[in-house]
Amino acid sequence: MRILPQLLTIAALTVVAVPLAARFMPGSHAALASVGLLAPLSAMGLVPENAEAGGGPRGGGRAIPVVAAPAEELMLRDVVSAIGSARGVQAVALAPEVSGRVLALRVQAGDRVKAGDLMAELDDEAARLALERAELVLADAQATMARVERLTGSGAASTLQRQEAELALRTADLAVQSARRDLADHRLVAPIDGVVGLIEVQAGDLISPTTEVTRIEDRSSLTIDFRVPERVAALIALDNPVEVHAVSAPNQPIEGVISAIDNRVDEASRTLRVQARIGNETDALRAGMAFRVALEFTGAIYPAVDPMAIQWGAEGAYVWVLRAGKAQQLPIRILQRNSENVLVETALQPGDLVVTEGVQALRPGAEASAVAASEAS
């Protein structure tokens, strides 16, 4: 029983709303014509004389006002972002060449060193004794060689004796060189310029060649390791510019360049390993920091339309264009969405205007004119 009052209410609203729509909403004329109501309403004088079944006004001077403008032409931009880790342009883990006890440390963590600077000394007493012994053997071999040469001149020494003396002299000389090298290995020197890291040993510790004493990092510039998708492998090249942001300081862009590219794509991840180099003149950055790397690749030029112009139908996306004063639907393929516009692929012709406001009143082939946004509103 409650349904009847509701139906009566709906009928009353319809009786009031339909004439009002026919009188004040020209865009509704097409729908009213499709259900056969436009002609009776016209006979009752509820439809303006300038309205037609298509819903648009008649006459070129009374075209549907819409906001429209020519499409811009912009270059397709493909931006690839990746996260990478930084390391110094040079980095060395310092370890001794021989086993021994640390006699003295000559640097502290954070010191800047040059290549060849003394870092630490090991107890070298045994190495010094070995060098002295080798030098004594060398001196004896030199004296023997001199005596054999004198005897050879007088015919008292044979060729075999001379050869044996030369061999002993050469062997003694090599032993001295080896002893000197062993003595030098008891001094740890910096192989590169850089900054000393934490020192893992102290004086008195017994260390071996497997003991890492400290790490020297040259952070005058940093190398960032990251990976890019294989689809851009053919586009990336050495010295390409990149924009880098430290994850800890996302609002401070840093300019860099591609410094190295791997020679193969990783089969497991389908990515290509790439290295970029950035400057660090202020020494504000550290090795091991995480960085966001952005690479921009440009392509062909395409029309760019306002996002409000894009409409959707059963067959996909389209835009309304004004061509020779008449509205037409133009299918589009969206290529890239940006904050202010959308790059599309479509069959625009010179002189076409893309409609951004007023699309609700348009029908294919309807006359329309472009007006300013304030006038359309």
Q: Domain 62-71+306-376 maps to which CATH number in 3.20.20.70, 3.40.50.300, 2.40.420.20, 2.40.50.1020?
A: 2.40.420.20
Computed over its alpha carbons, how large is the radius of gyration of the chain?
Answer: 43
Number of residues that make up the chain: 377
What is the percentage of the chain residues whose pLDDT exceeds 70? 81
Q: What is the pLDDT of residues 49-82, one digit of tens each?
A: 544 444 444 444 467 888 888 888 887 777 888 9
Name 165's bridge partners: none
Please tell me the distance from the alpha carbon of residue 235 to that of residue 295, in angstroms, as a whole number: 10
CATH class of the region 125-184:
mainly alpha
**H/E element, 51:** none
Q: What is the pLDDT of residues 133-145, one digit of tens each?
A: 999 999 999 998 8
Domain spans of the chain, in order of start: 3-51, 62-71+306-376, 80-88+216-300, 125-184
Higher pLDDT residue, 361 or 219? 219
For the domain made up of 80-88+216-300, give the CATH fold.
Elongation Factor Tu (Ef-tu); domain 3 (2.40.30)
What is the percentage of the chain residues whose pLDDT exceeds 90? 40
Structure tokens of 57?
């006004």
Establish whether domains 62-71+306-376 and 80-88+216-300 are of one fold.
no
According to DSSP, the β-strands at 64-69 and 368-370 are parallel
Asked if residue 364 lies in contact with residue 62, where contact means CB atoms within 8 angstroms, the answer is: no
Can you give the pLDDT at residue 212?
A: 92
Can you give the pLDDT at residue 58?
A: 43
Amino acid at 277: R
Q: b or e along 312-321 (b: 16 or more beta carbons within 10 Å of the residue's beta carbon)?
A: eeeeebbbbb
